[in-house]
């Protein structure tokens, strides 16, 4: 089975007009979220810390899964392909909102 790179997966997802529009809307939502968070920053620090802790715990629990190369080959998926798919989903789902969030926080802090 040929390996598909992360950039090829992202390019394929963004090649359709629907995918590009969704990423743009997610980016705008991230800016709005970041702007609002900048205005109520003192209340959100705990929430962000909890989300980070939850992400770390999720990664830690996934690392304890015993998905060996033999197990994955039985179902016809290589470890590299699985990793590329996970990275592309993370980039497409979290990326636009995270970038917009950072820009929104900066706008909110500068407009005080």
Q: What percent of the chain has pLDDT over 90?
A: 4
Phi/psi zone of residue 99: left (φ > 0), alpha (ψ -120 to 50 degrees), beta? Answer: alpha
**Residue 28: predicted pLDDT:** 92
DSSP states of 16-60: SHHHHHHHHHHHHHHHHHHHHHHHTHHHHHHHHHHHHHHHHHHHH
* 50-73 per-position pLDDT tens digit: 877 777 776 666 555 555 656 656
Is the predicted pLDDT of residue 3 greater than 70, yes or no?
A: yes
Check pLDDT > 70 for residue 75. Answer: no
> Whole-prediction pTM value?
0.45
Confidence (pLDDT) at 5:
77
């Amino acid at each position: 089975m040929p390996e598909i790179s992360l950039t090829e997966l992202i390019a394929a997802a963004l090649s359709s007009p629907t995918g590009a529009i969704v990423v743009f809307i997610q980016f705008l939502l991230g800016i709005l979220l970041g702007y609002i968070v900048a205005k109520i920053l003192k209340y959100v620090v705990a929430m962000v810390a909890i989300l980070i802790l939850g992400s770390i715990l999720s990664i830690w629990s996934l690392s304890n899964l015993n998905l060996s190369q033999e197990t994955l080959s039985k179902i016809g998926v290589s470890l590299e392909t699985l990793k590329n798919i996970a990275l592309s989903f993370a980039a497409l789902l979290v990326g636009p909102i995270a970038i917009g969030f950072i820009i929104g926080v900066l706008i909110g802090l500068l407009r005080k």
